[in-house]
C-alpha cells in the first residue's frame, strides 16, 4: 500500500510555533561556546549561563532539528547500554552511581516541563513487553532493578499484559511508573526559550566548520562569523564527525523511524502509557493527542529515508494490532542517533581542553539533561562528577567498516528475535 506523506515535516513540527534565532554574522567573545542545539547543547548552554558563564550556542540548522525534535518522546532512566552492560564494565557500585545520574536526568526533564509547560507531558508510565514467552528473566530483572537500583518495575503476566495491549504478539511485561512521555520538539524549544531568557546567545543556521586553539582560548568559525571562548563544548551528535575528531570519529550514525496516524477509534491499545518491546530493534509507540498513534521502530545505518516509509510503518503497526482498523499515516520521518561503540554517552574533556557531551544513542532524553548538567558543573569547577564517564572514553568507531558491522549485528539480533518469537507462537 503506497501512501503519500508530508515531506520532511514531522507531526512535532506541525504542532509547534518556532521562534527564530539570528545567524552568527560577527566575531564575538564568550566564556563558553556550545556547538549543537539539540537537547545536549541546549541544557549545557542553559546550565553554563545559570552559573554566570556568558554562553553562545551555535546551531547548524534550527534548534532541536536533529534527533531531539524527532524522537519517540519517552523519558525514562538508564542508558542505551542496559544496566547489565554497565555493571559488566564498571562493577555494581559504579553502575549504581551512573544509574542515579541518569535518574537525575529524568527528574531534570520532569522539573523543567512541570515548572514551565506541563501540557508537554502527554502521559505517564512506560510498559515494556516481551514478544516471546518469559522463562523468568523479566521477573528477576524487575526484582534486581528494585533491589540494586531502587527502580520500581511492576510485573504483569501475559494475561494481564493483553488486557492493556490487545495483541497475540505480547507476553509478560513490566511497567515503570517513573517514566513519562512528552512532546520532545516543544521541550527543545522550551529549553531554547529558557536559555535565551537566562542570557544565552543562540545562533541558528550557523554551522560550525572549524574549532582551533589560540592561546588559552578556542576559536569556533561558523557561517559569517566566529566565537572566541575560554571553553568549547561539542554537542553535535554524529552529524559533524570532523569538527571534534576525538568524539566525532568515535560515533556511528544509526537511523530510526517514526510515523503518526490519523485520529483513531480503536480499542486495542488500552493505556495512556508509552509502550516498547524488548527486542533488539523493537517497536516503541504511544497514543498522543486526539487519539493519534505515534509509532517508532526499525533501525538501519543508512542515513537516507527509505522509500515507502509510511507503508513500512503501517505494516509494522498492523502486524502487532490487526484490530487497529484502517489507520492512515499522516506523517512519517527518520532521525539519526549517535552511538559510541560501547553504547554509553561520551562525556568529558580532551587533552587540549575541549569538552564534549554526545553519543546518547536511543536513550537520550534523560541522559542529555544529565550530560549537560555534568559538563556545566565541570566547567564552573563545581565538581568533577563528569569523570564517572571516564571508563567510557571515546574510541575510534572504525568509520564505514563500523557502520557495516553495526548493520550486520542488527540483522543478526533481529534474526535471533524472530527465532525466539517463532518458538513462542
Ligand X SMILES: Cc1cc2nc3c(=O)[nH]c(=O)nc-3n(C[C@H](O)[C@H](O)[C@H](O)COP(=O)(O)OP(=O)(O)OC[C@H]3O[C@@H](n4cnc5c(N)ncnc54)[C@H](O)[C@@H]3O)c2cc1C
* Chain residues that interact with ligand X, rule: CB under 6 A: 35-41, 58-61, 65-68, 70-74, 207-208, 235-237, 239-240, 243, 256, 258, 284, 296, 335-337, 358, 360-366, 368
Which residue sits closest to ligand X, CB atoms considered? Answer: 364
CA–CA gap between residue 349 and residue 214 (Å, rounded): 17
Q: Return the number of the residue (53 or 109) whose C-beta is nearest ligand X.
A: 109
Place of cell 541544557: 43
In the complex, least distance from residue 313 CB atom to ligand X, rounded to whole angstroms: 11
Q: How far is the CB of 275 from ligand X (least distance, A)?
A: 11
Q: Which is nearer to ligand X, 158 or 413 (CB)?
A: 413
> In sequence order, what DSSP letters do the residues of 375-408 get, joined into one string?
HHHHHTTS--GGGGGGGG------HHHHHHHHHH
Query: Which CB atom, from 70 or from 169, has the smaller least distance to ligand X?
Result: 70
In the complex with ligand X, the residue whose CB is nearer, 235 or 341, is: 235
Helices 184-198 & 92-116 angle (0-180, nearest 10): 80
Distance CA(312)–CA(128), nearest Å, equals 22
Distance CA 382, CA 376 (A): 9
Q: Measured from the CB atom, is 321 or 360 closer to ligand X?
A: 360
CB of 400 to ligand X, least distance (A): 19
Buried b / exposed e across 135-173, counting CB within 10 Å, b at 16+? eeebeebbeebeeebebebebbebeebbebbbbebbbbb
Comparison of 45 and 162: residue with beta carbon closer to ligand X: 45
Least gap, CB of 327 to ligand X (angstroms)? 19
Rounded-to-integer distance, Cα 249 and Cα 403, Å: 12
Q: How far is the CB of 236 from ligand X (least distance, A)?
A: 4
CB of 161 to ligand X, least distance (A): 20
**What Å distances lie between residue 189 and 203, 265, 372, CA to CA?**
14, 31, 16
Nearest distance in Å: CB 157, ligand X: 26
CB atoms within 10 A of CB 54: 16
Give 39 or 99: the residue with its C-beta nearer to ligand X.
Answer: 39
Q: Is 379 in contact with 360 (CB distance < 8 Å)?
A: no
**Least distance (Å) from ligand X to the CB of residue 40?**
3
CB closer to ligand X, 173 vs 237: 237
Strand bridging mode 121-129 / 173-182 = antiparallel
Contact 177, 189 (CB under 8 A): no
Amino acid at each position: 500500500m503506497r501512501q503519500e506523506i508530508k515531506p520532511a515535516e514531522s507531526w512535532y513540527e506541525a504542532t509547534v510555533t518556532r521562534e527564530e534565532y539570528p545567524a552568527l554574522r560577527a566575531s564575538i567573545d564568550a566564556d563558553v561556546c556550545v556547538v549543537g542545539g539539540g537537547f545536549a547543547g541546549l541544557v549545557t548552554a542553559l546550565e553554563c549561563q545559570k552559573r554566570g558563564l556568558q554562553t553562545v550556542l551555535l546551531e547548524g540548522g534550527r534548534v532541536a532539528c536533529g534527533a531531539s525534535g524527532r524522537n519517540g518522546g519517552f523519558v525514562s532512566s538508564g542508558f542505551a547500554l542496559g544496566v547489565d552492560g554497565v555493571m559488566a564494565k564498571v562493577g555494581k557500585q559504579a553502575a549504581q552511581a551512573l544509574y542515579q545520574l541518569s535518574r537525575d536526568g529524568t527528574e531534570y526533564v520532569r522539573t523543567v516541563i512541570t515548572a514551565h509547560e506541563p501540557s508537554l507531558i502527554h502521559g505517564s508510565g512506560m510498559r515494556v513487553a516481551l514478544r516471546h514467552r518469559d522463562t523468568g528473566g523479566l521477573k528477576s530483572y524487575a526484582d534486581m532493578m528494585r533491589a540494586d537500583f531502587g527502580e520500581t518495575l511492576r510485573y504483569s503476566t501475559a494475561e494481564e499484559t493483553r488486557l492493556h495491549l490487545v495483541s497475540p504478539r505480547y507476553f509478560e511485561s513490566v511497567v515503570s511508573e517513573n517514566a513519562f512521555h512528552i512532546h520532545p520538539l516543544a521541550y527543545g524549544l522550551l529549553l531554547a526559550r529558557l536559555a535565551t531568557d537566562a542570557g544565552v546567545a543562540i545562533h541558528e543556521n550557523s554551522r560550525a566548520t572549524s574549532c582551533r586553539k589560540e592561546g588559552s582560548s578556542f576559536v569556533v568559525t561558523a557561517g559569517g562569523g566566529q566565537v572566541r571562548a575560554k571553553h568549547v563544548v561539542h554537542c553535535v551528535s554524529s552529524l559533524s564527525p570532523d569538527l571534534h575528531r576525538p568524539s566525532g570519529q568515535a560515533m556511528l550514525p544509526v537511523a530510526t523511524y517514526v510515523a503518526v496516524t490519523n485520529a483513531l477509534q480503536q480499542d486495542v491499545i488500552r493505556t495512556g502509557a508509552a509502550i516498547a518491546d524488548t527486542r533488539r530493534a523493537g517497536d516503541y509507540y504511544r497514543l498522543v493527542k486526539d487519539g493519534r498513534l505515534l509509532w517508532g521502530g526499525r533501525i538501519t545505518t543508512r542515513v537516507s529515508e527509505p522509500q515507502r516509509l509510511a507503508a513500512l510503518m503501517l505494516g509494522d503497526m498492523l502486524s502487532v494490532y490487526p484490530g487497529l482498523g484502517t489507520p492512515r499515516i499522516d506523517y512519517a520521518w527518520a532521525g539519526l542517533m549517535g552511538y559510541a561503540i560501547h553504547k554509553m554517552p561520551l562525556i568529558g574533556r580532551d587533552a587540549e581542553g575541549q569538552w564534549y557531551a554526545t553519543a546518547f544513542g536511543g536513550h537520550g532524553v534523560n541522559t542529555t539533561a544529565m550530560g549537560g548538567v555534568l559538563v556545566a558543573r565541570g566547567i564552573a569547577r563545581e565538581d568533577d562528577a563528569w569523570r564517572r564517564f571516564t571508563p567510557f572514553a571515546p574510541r575510534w568507531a572504525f568509520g564505514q567498516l563500523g557502520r557495516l558491522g553495526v548493520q550486520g549485528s542488527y540483522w543478526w539480533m533481529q534474526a535471533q528475535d524472530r527465532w525466539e518469537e517463532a518458538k513462542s507462537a
